[in-house]
Amino acid sequence: MTIGIGLVGAGGMGADHARTIARHVAGARLVAVADADGDRARQVAAETGAARSGTDGHAVIGDPEVAAVLIASPDYTHADFVRACLGAGKPVLCEKPLAPTPAECLALIEAERALGRRLIQVGYMRRFDAGYVAMKQALSAGELGRALLLHCVHRNAAAPSFFESGMIITNSAVHEIDIARWLLGSEIVRVQVLRTASSELLMVLLESDAGQIVDIELFMSATYGYDIRGELVCEKGTVSLAAPADVHLRRAGTQSFAFAPDWRPRFAAAYRTQLQAWIDAVGRGRSIGANAWDGYAAAAVAAVCLESLASGQPAAVRLESRPALYA
């Protein structure tokens, strides 16, 4: 059975997802594409074999041939489209963040609870990255003992063109918040954001309910490339991501490797694996990856990070209680 996919949002990330579905994902085909820019939707549809394109995301969600929806529109539009997918009873893979605010995420959780089944997956693709998966396996194997500390570095060569105030937290830091919760298997209870002389370079400190510390360097204008690092420090050793390069060059007294310009090439394999896993899960009537609760938890921690950034003080995170649907 081939699952008909509708794509809402055909900008950089949405167009990449469309190509991945067309070229690398088994069991799915793109049938309809919407984007606020109709020409862009038309081009992506033509390139990827989708029969229909237009400017109305809701028309794509309602399209009878669309069995599952991929949302890659601007962050502030996510909640509205995800709610429409729930209304249509269609599984949805929504790019992160699920929504920029925890209140919007909670409303989606309520709607999904009312349906009684999990249809929402949030595109926290690092959960499908071979490096992070290997880190989690190394920790689960038990030989490292308990995880005590997680060091994260998150550097963009330049802030994306769509960035607005606060997105360094709600659009970038959320990846680190999600991967920290997923790797450590604990919830974040306290945060502190430290400013530097540049508003594009912040340090975020998180504390988990198991007493683990996460430090995150967020640098949105590192200029030299896209650079993501992670190291788990455990009782009996450490495990860290290896440099993501196929080759290391040694020449003229130096050793070097190339950085990806942005996240799309860096995490291309993770995006592919995520899409295939989503399609396979949809085909089996299951859900996989980050769910709506994970989307809410990341947004809730991000909101408290924004408070701490504004006040300069540490701040406590208070999550709602987790509904049984997400146990």
291 lines the binding site for ligand ISE (CB under 6 A): no
Residue among 63 and 176 whose Cβ is closer to ligand ISE: 176
Give the span between the Cα atoms of 107 and 260, in whole angstroms: 37
Residue among 3 and 298 whose Cβ is closer to ligand ISE: 298
Angle between helices 268-283 and 12-24 (to 10 degrees): 60
Q: How far is CA 97 from CA 29, 111, 255, 276, 312, in A?
A: 25, 17, 37, 20, 24
Q: How far is CA 157 from CA 19, 70, 94, 153, 168, in A?
A: 24, 27, 25, 13, 13
Q: Report the residue from 48, 73, 121, 171 that binds ligand ISE according to the rule CB under 6 A.
A: 171
265 lines the binding site for ligand ISE (CB under 6 A): no
Q: Report the residue from 20, 48, 53, 156 that binds ligand ISE according to the rule CB under 6 A.
A: 156
Q: Supply φ then ψ for residue 92, to 5 degrees.
A: -135, 130
β-bridge pairing 188-195 and 315-316: antiparallel
Please choose, out of 103-111, 127-135, 169-177, 191-199, the segment that lies near ligand ISE by the rule CB under 6 A. 169-177
Q: Report the residue from 17, 90, 136, 175 that binds ligand ISE according to the rule CB under 6 A.
A: 175
Residue among 36 and 158 whose Cβ is closer to ligand ISE: 158
48 lines the binding site for ligand ISE (CB under 6 A): no
Please choose, out of 76-84, 142-150, 152-160, 251-259, the segment that lies near ligand ISE by the rule CB under 6 A. 152-160
Q: Report the residue from 38, 54, 62, 160 that binds ligand ISE according to the rule CB under 6 A.
A: 160
Segment 106 to 135, residues that bind ligand ISE, using CB under 6 A: none
Give the span between the Cα atoms of 265 and 292, in whole angstroms: 26
